[in-house]
Amino acid sequence: MSRLDGRDYIYLVWKDYKTRQRYIVGQLSKNSHYEFEYFQNEVKKAIHNGFEPLIAFPDIDYVYKNDEVFPAFSSRLPDRRRKDIKEVLNKYNLKEYDEFELLKKSGARLPIDTLEFIDPIFLEESNIVRECYFAGTRYHDFCSNDCSNSLNLREGDLLTLERDRSNNYDPNAVRVLRSSGECIGYIPTFYSKEVLTALEANRDVKCIVKSMVKENNCQECIKIELSIN
């Protein structure tokens, strides 16, 4: 759980569809009520590259407050009246329908835009565990149009993490290596700074293969589990 100062947080990420670079444009938080606000530096960079502030949140300097999850976000979730809603909740290890937790667990991605929610890493926490898909898979030789013949990994495989100082896109870039030393991708930019900080502080950082889905979708090909202690 990403919790600081008595509030729970999730971050809103926008991906530039041209460069595929991700920007953490804002955060949704809750305790007795819900708040949404933009991160000034990141949202301005994103706007420069094509991001438009959400219709429901047009003012990038304003802190929006509401007693419930904002409809602009809850509308991205599966309807609680769906016949298969129990299966949906089981998929994300939820015992009951909780909009905030479902945003955090599912990411609430839609085919009509490039927004998603992530569960942020706060290094002040202990026993941190996060799941994500690693980035950059499509740029490596093993990635082809025929996913069935691509990278051969197994669930539970331990992967190695190391800093990539030559990366021109992310100053905190962390490469993901298989046991042979081959680079197979990167920690996504929305986690790279925290993972690199933990590595350089000699914290116990582990990365394992959580699952593989070979369906010609390079964005969601290899899911990893990160743990930081």
Q: Tell the burial category of 184 from Cβ atoms under 10 Å away from its Cβ (0-12, 13-18, 19+).
A: buried
**For residue 173, what are the domain limits?**
128-228
In a shared domain, residues 56 and 137: no
Q: Looking at residue 41, what is its pLDDT?
A: 95
Q: Looking at residue 34, what is its pLDDT?
A: 97
Q: Where residue 126 falls among pLDDT bands split at 50, 70, 90?
A: confident
3-state secondary structure 32-93: CCEEEEECHHHHHHHHHCCCCCCCCCCCCCCCEEECCCCHHHHCCCCCCCCCCHHHHHHHCC
In a shared domain, residues 201 and 157: yes
Of 95, 103, 107, the residue nearest 69 (C-alpha): 103
- Using an 8 Å Cβ cutoff, are 64 and 35 in contact? yes
Residue 4 has pLDDT above 80, yes or no: no
Domain-embedded: residue 196: yes
SS3 of 211, please? strand
Please tell me the distance from the alpha carbon of residue 84 to that of residue 82, in angstroms, as a whole number: 5
Q: Looking at residue 135, what is its pLDDT?
A: 85
Q: Where residue 225 falls among pLDDT bands split at 50, 70, 90?
A: very high
Q: Which of 39-53, 128-142, 163-177 is least confident?
A: 128-142
Structure confidence by residue, pLDDT tens digits, 30-53: 998 999 999 999 999 999 999 999
Residue 5 vs residue 69, higher pLDDT: 69
Domain-embedded: residue 93: yes
Q: What percent of the chain lies above the pLDDT cut of 90?
A: 70
In a shared domain, residues 171 and 90: no
Q: How many domains does the chain have?
A: 2
Q: Tell the burial category of 167 from Cβ atoms under 10 Å away from its Cβ (0-12, 13-18, 19+).
A: middle
In a shared domain, residues 59 and 113: yes
Domain boundary among 57, 83, 118: 118
Q: What percent of the chain lies above the pLDDT cut of 70?
A: 89
pTM to 2 decimal places? 0.85
SS3 of 119, please? coil
In a shared domain, residues 74 and 101: yes
In a shared domain, residues 145 and 63: no
Structure confidence by residue, pLDDT tens digits, 138-153: 555 555 555 555 567 8
CATH of the domain at 169: 3.30.70.2330
In a shared domain, residues 87 and 48: yes
Domain boundary among 94, 118, 142: 118
Please tell me the distance from the alpha carbon of residue 217 to that of residue 221, in angstroms, as a whole number: 6
- Using an 8 Å Cβ cutoff, are 46 and 25 in contact? yes
Amino acid identity of 113?
Answer: D
In a shared domain, residues 112 and 136: no
In a shared domain, residues 9 and 104: yes
In a shared domain, residues 104 and 166: no
Structure confidence by residue, pLDDT tens digits, 47-84: 999 999 999 999 999 999 999 999 999 999 999 999 99
In a shared domain, residues 140 and 107: no
Q: Looking at residue 215, what is its pLDDT?
A: 56
In a shared domain, residues 91 and 180: no
Residue 226, number of CB atoms within 10 A of its CB: 23
Domain boundary among 64, 93, 118: 118
Give 203's DSSP letter: -
Length of the chain: 229
Give 102's DSSP letter: H
Domain-embedded: residue 123: no
